[in-house]
Amino acid sequence: MDNIAKLHENENQRLQALESYQIMDSLAEEDFDELTQMASQICGTPIALITLVDSSRQWFKSKLGIDVQQTPREHAFCAHTIIDPTGLMVVSNAKEDQRFAENPLVTGDPNIAFYAGVSLMTPEGMPLGSLCVIDTVPRTLDERQLWSLKVLGKQVIAQMEMRKKLLLLCETNRRLAETNQFMQQFATTAAHDIKNPLTTISMSTELLTKHLYSSGDQKGYKLALVSFNGIKALGKLINDMLEYSIRPEILTAQHELIELGSFLRKTVSMLSIPENVQINYPKAGTEISTSAIALQQILINLLTNSVRYNDKQTCLIQIDCIIVNGLANITVSDNGMGIRREELERIFQRNVTLNTSDRFAQSGTGIGLATVKLLVEKLGGEISVQSTPGVGSAFTFTIGSNKTSVKKS
């Protein structure tokens, strides 16, 4: 095809910026899917995508209305969008546009006739991809829809910025844990680094929510309201982290009611989980009252170990929660390498390693599980492990709370 989009004038820097987000080939995430659905609802199109363009393909972080996960870059409408100086490209009828008339995505599935995309621009001005809406018939968008698409595009990049910060914070958390000083430094850095992009997201979402309400778009308004409420909840967690950085003693003393299913999914979204990992969650409605920050650190450590020390083609992780006599018994089990019987009593001791390399050929430090044990005990609970070499391991810890309950559906 002769009408392949030119490369960005700073293509190498653009690709480096994209790589820094560590988002390509990541799992689907609810926050991005909600924005895609909102774009489809507002613009009235059957297809909406969040696309990221690397050196050879456009990959869909979120998709609605199509089954494929990526297409070659030379076929990508979004490859044209990212070099458009206006940051917005609208193609009313692709079949009559010489750039796209012979494009396989126009002549074949998904039969694109209409396209509108807005560039996902980093704070440094590098376009990574686009938020786009697509239809199979020629059409246009009005000014309100175009404005909304631009606002949603800013929301996407803000979510990516937050995700990038969270990934960096997880790495910071791991390193600080190895020096046994990670909690205070992590919370201080995390809270300040995230508050600025969070404020941007909150203001944009509130503006979009009010606009959709006043325009009478009830479907779009409800979706925007879900995002706005989620942002407020995240803001509370960040403020708690900042408060902890000032007064570390509140880490395990300040409890809140947590719905375990949604909490686990948000925690998993902060991790870099390979595609061959399957995680099963406890039934919906289980609530526990505990320290969100401490519980998150416990789960991040256990889940990370389940992924690292797994030699199976498909890594299976099962998370269960049983309420017994006012105690929440949470179990994280996997089908990994397992631990020998004579080593089970030693693994929670500080600086004890089992001379076992993980799936990335790296050895542990012996600090992670010691920290987990300390946090569990600070929460008034205990932790134990059952394991069979070659079959897998199951870590069970308890959390004491008079408010532990199961919400009735």
Instruction: Mark whether 390 and 265 lie in a shared domain.
Output: yes
CA distance 41 to 147: 14
Angle between helices 30-43 and 260-269 (to 10 degrees): 90
Contact 347, 339 (CB under 8 A): yes
* pLDDT score, position 63: 97
Q: Is 311 found in the same domain as 285? A: yes
Residue 3 included in any domain = no
What's the whole-number mean pLDDT along residues 347-376?
Answer: 64
pLDDT top residue among 277 and 175: 277
The last residue of one of the domains, among 223, 250, 277, is 250
Residues 360 and 322 in one domain: yes
CA angle, residues 19, 24, 27, in degrees to nearest 5: 140
Do residues 16 and 68 share a domain? yes
Identify whether residues 202 and 263 lie together within a single domain. Answer: no
In Å, what is the CA distance from 99 to each residue of 57, 75, 104, 118? 18, 10, 12, 18
Q: Report, as an integer, the average pLDDT of 269-293.
A: 84
Residue 342 and residue 382 in one domain: yes
Of 153, 188, 218, which one is at a domain's C-terminal end? 153
- Interval 3-59: pLDDT, tens: 789 999 999 999 999 999 999 999 999 999 999 999 999 999 999 999 999 999 999
Write the CA distances from 377 to 138, 213, 252, 305, 402, integer angstroms: 63, 48, 10, 20, 16
**CB-based contact 346:328 (threshold 8 Å):** no
Domain stop point among 153, 171, 203: 153
Question: Range of 315's domain?
Answer: 256-406
Q: What confidence tier does 366 reach under pLDDT thresholds 50, 70, 90?
A: very low
Q: What is the DSSP letter of 357?
A: B
Asked if 100 and 136 sit in the same domain, the reply is yes
Residue 100 is part of a domain; what is its CATH number? 3.30.450.40
Tell whether 196 and 147 lie within a shared domain: no
Could you tell me the CATH number of the domain that includes residue 361? 3.30.565.10
Number of domains in the chain: 3
State whether 244 and 288 are in the same domain: no
pLDDT in tens, 393-408: 999 999 875 444 444 3
CA 25 to chain centre: 12
The predicted structure's pLDDT at residue 209: 87
Strands 57-64, 47-53: pairing is: antiparallel
CB contact at 8 A, 295 and 358: no
Residues 149, 204: one domain?
A: no
Average pLDDT of the segment spanning 198-223: 84
For residues 25 and 148, state if they share a domain.
yes
Output the CA torsion 49→51→57→63 (10° steps). -30
Tell whether the model's pLDDT for residue 192 goes beyond 80.
Answer: no
Q: Is 395 a domain residue?
A: yes
Query: Does one domain contain both 233 and 294?
Result: no
